[in-house]
Amino acid sequence: MDNSSDRAIVLRDTPGRSTLAAVDYRVHELLLRQEQQERTTLKLIASENFASSAVLEATGSIFTNKYAEGYPGARYYAGNEIVDELENLAIERLKSLFGSEHANVQPYSGSPANQAVYRALLSPGDKVMGLSLPGGGHLTHGWTVNFSGTDYKRIPYGLHEKTQQIDYHRLRETAKRERPKLVWVGGTAYPRVFDYAAMAEIASEVNSYLVADIAHISGLIVAGAHPNPVGHCDVVSSTSHKSIRGPRGGFILSRNEDRYQELYHPKSKHNLAKRIDRAVFPLLQGGPHMNIIAALAVTLQEAANPSFRTYGKQIVKNAKALAQALLERGYDLVTGGTDNHMLILDLRDRPLSGKAYAERLAKAGIIANFNMVPGDPRHPAVTSGIRLGSPAVTSMGMREAEMAQISAFIDLVCRQPNDPDVHARVRRDVADFCAAFEVPGITNRKPGKSKVAT
Ligand SMILES: *Cc1c(COP(=O)(O)O)cnc(C)c1O
């Protein structure tokens, strides 16, 4: 019999793990299972990470209850003095970390942040250039099935056939011919540094806004492990939950003034910063998620610590070490390597699809996602590639030596993809391997200590 509702009525303490177990056994049990999975597998999804206990505490705090439509000092609800301070704190930390003039911390996630950018800068039907999805761009940069591809005139740019890196020369020619109003720089599956200066030059030549989407690399940028686009771009958008290791959310950085105000927005009485804010609220969103903004503030405090610089640089060192180890084992990598936190295995000459390899790897406790490679002959739902990322394992404290071991695990599975005994053996070895490391937000134990989740 389920008596959990009786217990819910007497709930009076600060919500915690034990309360969850009492109120909802099933969700609690799913949570424990997810924790168990994350403690015993290798999280190599390039967009995932482990938020710290402090970030999780703020995410699960009473700030989740507060309605605060509007912006600090101009809210549509009463009782917002404290959350005004909180939002201002997050904004100030963001501006100082990235050196930007303006920051908006209210977007619910990366895609809503990008929607707001479109609404602040363009009118439907305007031309937008973005890295194509097969080239490593994001859905919101003008892909066919996304609003950005249906409501705007999409002009994808691609990669150089030989280098598999952005072909800046062709990009410039296309921009000159098409004269887009917005150019995106950024991606979701691009293992190399972006040349923001070159992009800024091209955008300026054709009177286009330049927007960087740093969803994947914001943590690397804060750490000084990837160039900062802020000085080069009109607007910069990001998620807060990838390499920067915060809560699920988004933010937008921008200049205050619009350099094309006269040209593209002569009738607007609002500058660029104000148009971004108004696009987020009230055009697209209602009340901001104050618990997420609290957690973002904590994330930025953590990211400002010198140890975060070490962390970000180690992410890149680890990705390079993993790339090198895989190359030595005879694997092909898109662009031949990596400058950032991710690498893309090119499995076109192997017997199975990217999807099939990802499934086999998951059976062995290696969690990664299949991904298109340039010139991929397979459908996007199966692909010929696997994307691997180092942020999460770096958060566990792994270094170059562990990357060599991970490459050995991957190789074992990929060489015998249809042998369940191999999967099972690697699965056990991976679990043993992971047990020596702390998982932020899940365990704080040292090797050999209690296995109870904290
Ligand atoms: C992840 C990502 C996004 C979208 O973020 P969501 O939070 O999943 O909406 C946008 N742009 C890029 C480049 C991304 O990698």
In a domain? residue 452: no
For residues 145 and 181, state if they share a domain.
Answer: yes
**Mean pLDDT of the region 254-275:** 98
**139 among the known binding-site residues?**
yes
In ligand 1, the atom with minimum distance to the C-alpha of 47 is 1
Contacts 24+ apart (CB under 8 A), 427-434: 427/363, 427/364, 427/365, 430/40, 430/41, 430/42, 430/364, 430/365, 430/366, 431/40, 431/41, 431/365, 433/42, 433/402, 433/405, 433/409, 434/39, 434/40, 434/41, 434/42, 434/365, 434/396
Q: What is the pLDDT of residue 63?
A: 98
For residues 112 and 200, state if they share a domain.
Answer: yes
For residues 132 and 256, state if they share a domain.
Answer: yes
Q: Residue 177 CA to chain centroid, in angstroms?
A: 32
CATH of residue 86: 3.40.640.10
For residues 195 and 337, state if they share a domain.
Answer: no
Domain end position, chosen among 303, 326, 361: 303
For residues 291 and 318, state if they share a domain.
Answer: no
Name residue, tokens 């994808």.
156
In ligand 1, the atom with minimum distance to the C-alpha of 187 is 13
* CA 431 – CA 39 distance, rounded (Å): 8
**Three-state secondary structure readout of the chain:** CCCHHHHHHCCCCCCCHHHHHHHCHHHHHHHHHHHHHHHHCEECCCCCCCCCHHHHHHHCCHHHHCCCCEECCEECCCCCHHHHHHHHHHHHHHHHHHCCCEEECCCCCHHHHHHHHHHHHCCCCCEEEEECCCCCCCHHHCCCCCHHHHCCEEEEECECCCCCCECHHHHHHHHHHHCCCEEEEECCCCCCCCCHHHHHHHHHHCCCEEEEECCCCHHHHHCCCCCCCHHHCCEEEEECCCCCCCCCCEEEEECCCCCCHHHHCCCCCCCHHHHHHHHHHHHHCCCCCHHHHHHHHHHHHHHCCHHHHHHHHHHHHHHHHHHHHHHHCCCEEHHHCCCCCEEEEECCCCCCCHHHHHHHHHHCCEECEEECCCCCCCCCCCCCEEEEECHHHHHCCCCHHHHHHHHHHHHHHHHCCCCHHHHHHHHHHHHHHHCCCCCCCCCCCCCCCCCCCC
State the chain's mean pLDDT as an integer: 94
In a domain? residue 5: no
pLDDT at 327 over 70: yes
What band does 371 get if pLDDT is binned at 50, 70 and 90? Answer: very high
Name residue, tokens 């999807």.
355
Structure-block tokens of residue 208? 């286009």
**300 among the known binding-site residues?**
no
In a domain? residue 446: no
Is there a catalytic annotation at residue 181? Answer: no
User: What is the whole-number distance in angstroms between the Cα of residue 432 and the centre of ligand 1?
Assistant: 33
Structure-block tokens of residue 108? 């619910």
* CA 361 – CA 127 distance, rounded (Å): 41
* 17-21, 269-273, 394-398: least confidently modelled range: 17-21
For residues 116 and 200, state if they share a domain.
Answer: yes
45 lines ligand 1 (CB under 6 A): no
For residues 94 and 237, state if they share a domain.
Answer: yes
Q: What is the pLDDT of residue 18?
A: 66
**How many domains does the chain divide into?**
2
Quick: pLDDT tens for 401-446: 999 999 999 999 999 999 999 999 999 999 999 999 999 999 754 4
What band does 19 get if pLDDT is binned at 50, 70 and 90? Answer: confident
Helix-helix angle 354-363:400-415, to 10 degrees: 110
C-alpha count within 13 angstroms, C-beta hemisphere, residue 119: 20
For residues 255 and 353, state if they share a domain.
Answer: no
For residues 190 and 220, state if they share a domain.
Answer: yes
What band does 187 get if pLDDT is binned at 50, 70 and 90? Answer: very high
Type of residue at 417: P
340 lines ligand 1 (CB under 6 A): no
Give the residue numbers spanning the domain of 219.
Answer: 62-303
User: What is the whole-number distance in angstroms between the Cα of residue 138 and the centre of ligand 1?
Assistant: 7
In a domain? residue 207: yes
For residues 343 and 291, state if they share a domain.
Answer: no
User: Quick check: 107 and 140 in contact, CB under 8 A?
Assistant: no
pLDDT at 106 over 50: yes
CA dihedral 379, 380, 383, 388 (to 10 degrees): 180
In a domain? residue 3: no
For residues 296 and 337, state if they share a domain.
Answer: no
What band does 12 get if pLDDT is binned at 50, 70 and 90? Answer: very low
pLDDT at 141 over 70: yes
CATH of residue 345: 3.90.1150.10
Domain end position, chosen among 269, 286, 303: 303
Q: What is the pLDDT of residue 17?
A: 52
**137 among the known binding-site residues?**
yes
For residues 296 and 365, state if they share a domain.
Answer: no
In a domain? residue 87: yes
Give the residue, by CA position, lying nearest to ligand 1 atom 6: 110
In a domain? residue 139: yes
In a domain? residue 443: no
* CA 324 – CA 342 distance, rounded (Å): 12
Is there a catalytic annotation at residue 248? Answer: yes
